[in-house]
Homo-oligomer: A and B are copies of this chain.
């Protein structure tokens, strides 16, 4: 079986022991750029990894968020979603199909500040909501 050393190293760099389950979850997030929910991660991996439990998925995603391996997205009012791309970018969620898309930010430095009004900023989230291309097209 092949092992992706870059993923292993990614976890080790964040102080996380790379178990089978953790690698599988990271692997899924790396190839899937749909900003999945915990449930979606579980459903995607469960067939190939039948022993995997939903609890492990939640625990692992929480651990990854704490260690900075990924970002929590709060754009969806129903579920937390996860983004393995920790670079500075925004998100758009279609209010019809619920899909989440990456959006580039024009002047990042103006947006990603260190502090405001004496408060120390550790996270910046920019979300847009509306109607995606596909849904706009289908309505016509």
Contacts and interface: CB of A to CB of B under 8 A. Distances in A.
Contacts of A106: 110
A83 B94 CA distance: 22
A72 B95 CA distance: 14
Interface in A70-118: 72, 74-77, 80, 92, 94-95, 101, 103, 106-107, 110-111, 113, 115-118
Interface of A: 72, 74-77, 80, 92, 94-95, 101, 103, 106-107, 110-111, 113, 115-133, 136
Contacts of A130: 115, 119-123
A58 to B, nearest CB: 13
A75 B121 CA distance: 13
8 contacts: A74-B127, A92-B119, A94-B119, A111-B111, A113-B128, A116-B128, A120-B130, A122-B130
A41 to B, nearest CB: 17
